[in-house]
Structure formats: C-alpha cells, structure tokens
Amino acid sequence: MLHIFRLLLLLINIDQETVLNWFGIKDPTNQNIQQVIKSGFEPNISHFESSTEVSLETFRLILQGFVEKIQNGLTLADIENILFFILFIRFVILAIRYNLKTSFYITCIGLFAGYLWYRHLIDLISMYRSVLLKLPFLHSLGMDAVQLRSLNRQIALTDLKLGENSHWYNPGQVIYYALTKGIINIDPETGVRYYIDPISMAISNLQEPARSNLSGLYYQIFNKIIPKIYDICSKFWNQLSGVAAYAVITRIGKRYCPYLVRWHWTFLLIIGMVEQIFIYFLYRAYYFQTFVLIPKTQSELYANSVDSSLILQINLLNVIIACVVLSHIGFIIFGLFHAIWGQYFYFPFFVENTELHIGPRPKNSIYSGGYTSWQDPEEKNVNRLLPKLWFGWFGRKSRTNFQPVNILARFIKKMLRNLKKQFRG
C-alpha cells in the first residue's frame, strides 16, 4: 500500500502552481511571464522559472486570493473547491497515519456526510434566492440558486417532451418512458404512429367489433391513466424519498452505516422541523415588505408625503431578514465543514435528541469520527443550571469551562478586586 501511495504522489506533481490552480488563483510566476509578453519583449529561458514547492507562501497566496474572491461574493464553486481541497488534504494525512485503504474509507464516510449537508445547503439557498439577491455578500450565491432552478426546470421540460435524460438511478422514470415512449414507432415517410407492444399487436389481430371496443380502452390506459398514475407516484415519492432512504440506510442498514453518517443525517432531519419556522417567517416578512410596505412608500413618494414609519419598518425588516439568513446559512456551512472533517459539534437540545435515536458514539472504531466530549461520563455528571454551550473545537473537550454564568461571575469578582485595591490605596 505504501508503494502505491508513493506512486500516486509521483504521478501528481503537487507544487505551488497546482495548488493555486485548484482554487482558481493566478500564480505570480505566470503573471510575470504575461507581463513580459505584453510589454513586447521576447521571453527567454530565465523568465520561465519552475513553480516553487508548497510552503507557507502558498497558503498566504491562497488566503489572499480567497479574500479577494470573497469581496466579490461567495459562490457555490468557491465552497466546492474548499471542500474538495479539505478532502484531499485529509486523505493524504490519513494515508500517512494509517494506510491507503483506511484513508479512502474514512474520506468517503466524511464525503457522504458532507454531501447531506451540501444538498441541504443547495435547497436552502434555492428557497432564499430572492433574499440572497438583495444581500451584497451573498448576491453571487443567489445567482447560482437561480441558475440551478432554471436548469432543473429545463431538464424537467426536456424529460417530459423527449425522455432522453432518464438515468439508471431513477428506475421509475425509466419504466415510465419504456411504457409510454418505447412502444411507439413512427414511420419516417408517412409520419404515422404505430404501437408495437404485445397488447396492441394482440388487439390488432382481433375481429370487429371487439377490436374497436378494446382500442378505445387501450388508448385511454396508455395516454391518460398511466401518465396520471406516474405523476401521482412521482409527487408522492418526492415527498417520501428522503425519509425512506433514511429509514433504509440508517435504520435497516444500521450495522453497515457508519456512525458519522447516521449522526449528521439524524441531526439534519431534526433541525429541519425547526427550520420551517424561520423559512416561513422570512417568506411572510419578505412578502409584507415587497408587496405592502414598498408599494405604500412608492405611492407616497408621488404624493410628496412619505411617512417615516414606513421607511423605519422597511429598514428594520431588512436587518431582521439579513441576520436570520446569514445565521441560518452560516450554521449549515458550519455543520458542512464539520462533516467533511469527520467531526461532531454540540448544539443544545438537538444533539441530545439526535443521540437518543442513534445512541452514543462507538469509541473503539477509527471509522466513527472525531470527538464527542459531551458523551463522556465526567461531563454528564456535572450539575449545571444552564446547558453547556461549548465543548471545544470539533467537539473536543475544552480546557476552560466556557459557561456564561461562570464568565459573568469571574468578571464581577475581578471588578470587586479592583475596587478593593482602589479603596486600599
């Protein structure tokens, strides 16, 4: 395994130029060559310097380029580049620590858990697309959501017309188009449609009037009843597919599903119940602002008498909508990066309910992920007035007790000590 890993590193030339190209950042060496060419000078061999090795300067250029990109707005492509770079770095580290096979398994587990969060992020920005287009920092993310939505609609329309985009992983669609499109044969010369399935062939061999009576029933089944049943089953499956996949993979296949995947999947299902409250609240706030407050303000502008309370309500709703959207998307990205790293995080109430469903983390397996210090007995036996909000980075036990009550108590004690010193002096 070690020889295969070394061969892989030899085949992939990992230098500064390779890493920067991964993130779409221009290499300073290439920029110097382009400046020489644009200035009119003929480049010589001294200008073509080999790309430097990966160093701290490379990470500085990555950070600098990432900051420049962020100033123009965050996009899905930026998030994907960072995620796959993290996966590659983690794969290399785990391959050095264990072996190539173990590293591949652990990386795939983190990739699947991260995919769940990434799909949820895409669904979230699709719902928030109208709000994201108004936010300067997330405008590009909103444009990506609009493009994805228009692309899905175009694919759906193409599927309904031609059925050429049916795939093996959608067996219901394949069977539907096999029944409705595969049995039709069109004569290229006359344009007449012929049905070539066994039922139509059997009906065509019948004698009149039985053939005429059964032909109407046949066309009624294939042209109206089957498409209607398919539409009903498709809508039903779209609503139930997520829960069905969760039940099959994490419940029935619990023995073969890693704990990391089960934990993050269950956590996503639980927070989905609370997310609907914020989503519908933002829908109502956005509707009230766009279709009630703004038209009133525009009508008063024509009359040269604008009520200051309307402007205050619009600005207040802008702040509330922006804070809720940024907090929601930030939390999903926070969970996404934890899943990619194969780690856990603590959030009161939701983590407890998640682990009531799937149980504690098996700590004797290297495939179970990172740290869950809130499951440790010494942490459970501590009596607290308020739930602990911080368990260290990536669920690791923190050295300091990060409790709001304790922080406030230490602050008051420090103030009292300072006052005593002043009176003594």
- Angstrom CA distances, 152 to 104, 157, 165, stand at 32, 9, 12
Q: How far apart are CA 259 and CA 250, in angstroms?
A: 9
Rounded to 5 degrees, what are φ and ψ at 184?
Answer: -95, 130
Pairing mode, strands 184-186 and 193-195: antiparallel
Residue 1's contacts (CB-CB under 8 Å, 6 or more residues apart) are 99, 100, 101
Cα R_g (the chain), whole angstroms: 30
CA 81 distance to own-chain centroid: 13
DSSP 395: G
Q: How far apart are CA 338 and CA 265, in angstroms?
A: 13
Q: How far apart are CA 2 and CA 376, in angstroms?
A: 36
What pLDDT digit, counting tens, does each position of 350-366 carry? 999 999 989 899 888 88
> Which residues pair with residue 184 across a beta bridge?
195
Residue 399's identity, in one-letter code, is R
pLDDT at 9: 47
Rounded to 5 degrees, what are φ and ψ at 332?
Answer: -65, -40
**What's the CA angle centered on 390, arms 388 and 396, to 5 degrees?**
120
Residue 254's identity, in one-letter code, is K
Tell me the pTM. 0.69
- Give me the helices (H) in 289-373, please: 294-302, 308-340, 350-358
In the block, residue with structure tokens 């907090």: 327
pLDDT at 131: 84
> Which residues pair with residue 215 across a beta bridge?
none
pLDDT at 6: 42
pLDDT at 169: 46
pLDDT at 55: 61
pLDDT at 267: 95
DSSP SS3 for 361: coil
pLDDT at 218: 77
pLDDT at 214: 79
DSSP 397: P
Residue 345's identity, in one-letter code, is F
Residue 129's identity, in one-letter code, is R
- Per-state percent for the chain, helix, strand, coil, to nearest 5: 70, 0, 30
DSSP SS3 for 366: coil
pLDDT at 109: 94
Which tokens in the block code for residue 270? Answer: 């639980």
DSSP SS3 for 190: coil
Q: How far apart are CA 195 and CA 134, in angstroms?
A: 53
Which tokens in the block code for residue 64? Answer: 């600098």
Q: Are 100 and 60 a contacting pair, CB within 8 Å?
A: no
pLDDT at 206: 76
pLDDT string in tens for the chain (425-residue length): 443 444 444 455 566 666 666 666 666 655 554 554 555 555 554 444 455 666 666 667 767 766 676 667 778 888 888 888 889 889 989 999 889 899 999 999 999 999 999 999 998 988 888 888 887 778 888 888 888 777 666 655 554 444 555 555 456 666 767 666 667 777 777 776 667 767 777 777 777 777 777 777 877 877 788 778 878 887 777 777 778 888 888 888 888 899 999 999 999 999 988 898 888 888 898 888 888 888 888 777 766 666 778 888 888 998 898 899 989 999 999 999 999 999 999 988 899 999 998 989 988 888 888 888 888 877 766 666 666 777 777 878 765 544 544 555 666 777 677 666 666 65
DSSP SS3 for 184: strand
141-157 in b/e burial notation, b at 16+ Cβ within 10 A?
bbbbbeeeeeeeeeeee
Of all helices (H) and strands (E), which one includes residue 193? strand 193-195
**What's the CA angle centered on 340, arms 338 and 341, to 5 degrees?**
65
pLDDT at 180: 66
Sign of CA dihedral 193, 198, 204, 210: negative
**What is the length of the chain?**
425
